Chain A
Amino acid sequence: MKVSRDEMQRLTELLRQAYWGKERCEVGTQWQSSVMAVIRQMGPVRSTPPFLSTFEHLVWRLAPATSLLTLGLAALLASMDVVFEYDLFQLFLNAIEESTLAHIFGV
């Protein structure tokens, strides 16, 4: 069955009235004393947020910067001559193998 725009509007208006009518129901006041009892039991509220939540906040705040830094470093490493660095490292290692304690302490 097709429902026209006007029909739907009429129905919506009735439902809207029913929705706002929910506000008129009466609620007791017992909850107020319950809230205050719980709050008194909890004691003063902490003015500084717990460490974990602060840390969590910090992690998310730093996440974009960390990602950018990682990408930048990756790009830098990719553009560098890795083979040359490797040769230099090998040369350094060989030099260590050949040297003795006497050489190191200059005796």
Chain B
Amino acid sequence: MPVPCRVEEICNGSDSCSGVVMDNNTYSPDDYQIVRRVIAGDVNAFEHLMKKYQRLVLGVVKKHVPFDEIEDTVQDVFLRTYRSLPAFKGNNFSHWLSVIAVRTCYDFWREHYKSRELAMSSLTEQHQVWVEAALSEKSSQSFHEAGMKKEAREILDWALDKLSAEDRMVLELVYLEGHSVKEAASLLGWSTANVKVRLFRSRRKLHWLFTGATKHGRSDL
């Protein structure tokens, strides 16, 4: 199944979509008018913006944070957006909102890692078998079954949890979502060199994690 990773593929021309917006093709001049109304004191006008772009924000947040944290993070995104409205220059509201959403998710992980206990869970026997089966050529239709997908998600969460907040965000944006290094740098507000270094490091660590996660690999995982 091809994975949509560009705004054209995700949005199909609609004004609200579920992916990070990088291009200007979703620009609506109405957004700027609404923003001006909100700044002028019409607080309720913000609800229109929120409803219009809720799918976009949910699409970003759902992928980056755990399920039980989605609602809180989405709230945080819209509250930050509201506070930052005076800084909006009227170029592309959806991209601007995407940047806020991605950076809010990044802040979530930074806070999460700060308060995290050091003891990290290891892969279960079942997960190790899954990784070995996935690596082998025998992996076929069975991997598309619901149970297998659940395991894949658990393994993905386990692997991502081993990375730092920075490496995690870069890996998710570039490696899993398919954004270019430049796009990821723009979303995170970092230099492209920083993104490249982190991407290289996180990919290497991911490779190392899965090499060690197999039965014949390192036992310290």
Shortest distance from the beta carbon of B1 to any chain A beta carbon, whole Å: 7
Query: A residues within 8 A CB of B62?
Result: 22-23, 25, 27
Closest to A2 in B: B211
In the complex with contacts A8-B207, A10-B139, A32-B51, A21-B43 CB distance below 8 A: no
Query: B residues within 8 A CB of A25?
Result: 62, 67, 70
Query: B residues within 8 A CB of A23?
Result: 18, 59, 62-63
Instruction: Tell yes or no: B176 within 8 A of A by CB.
Output: yes
Query: A residues within 8 A CB of B71?
Result: 27-28, 30-31
Our count of residue pairs bridging A and B at CB distance below 8 angstroms stands at 117
A27 to B156, CA, bound (A): 21
Query: B residues within 8 A CB of A39?
Result: 43, 46, 79, 82
Instruction: Tell yes or no: A19 within 8 A of B by CB.
Output: yes
Instruction: Tell yes or no: A42 within 8 A of B by CB.
Output: yes
> Is B82 in contact with A17, judged by CB distance below 8 angstroms?
no
In the complex with contacts A35-B78, A48-B86, A18-B149 CB distance below 8 A: yes
Question: In chain B between 128 and 161, which residues have their CB closer than 8 angstroms to a CB of chain A?
Answer: 131, 134-137, 139, 143, 149, 152-153, 155-156, 159
- The binding surface of chain A is classed by DSSP as helix
In the complex with contacts A23-B59, A32-B51, A45-B82, A11-B135 CB distance below 8 A: yes
Instruction: Tell yes or no: B193 within 8 A of A by CB.
Output: no
- The binding surface of chain B is classed by DSSP as helix
Q: Could you tell me how many residues of chain B have their Cβ less than 8 Å away from some Cβ of chain A?
A: 55
Query: A residues within 8 A CB of B153?
Result: 18, 21-22
Contact for B43 among A7, A44, A47, A48, CB less than 8 A? A44
Instruction: Tell yes or no: A74 within 8 A of B by CB.
Output: no
A22 to B75, CA, bound (A): 19
Question: In chain B between 143 and 193, which residues have their CB closer than 8 angstroms to a CB of chain A?
Answer: 143, 149, 152-153, 155-156, 159, 172, 175-177
Interface set of A (CB-CB < 8 Å, partner B): 1-3, 7-8, 10-12, 14-23, 25, 27-28, 30-32, 34-36, 38-40, 42-49
Sample (17) of A-B pairs whose CB atoms are under 8 Å apart: A2-B211, A11-B135, A11-B210, A15-B176, A16-B176, A17-B149, A19-B156, A22-B67, A27-B62, A27-B70, A31-B71, A31-B72, A32-B54, A38-B79, A40-B44, A45-B83, A49-B87
Task: List 13 additional contacts besides A7-B136, A34-B75; criterion CB under 8 Å.
Answer: A11-B134, A14-B134, A15-B155, A15-B176, A19-B156, A20-B176, A23-B62, A30-B71, A31-B74, A32-B51, A35-B78, A44-B39, A49-B87
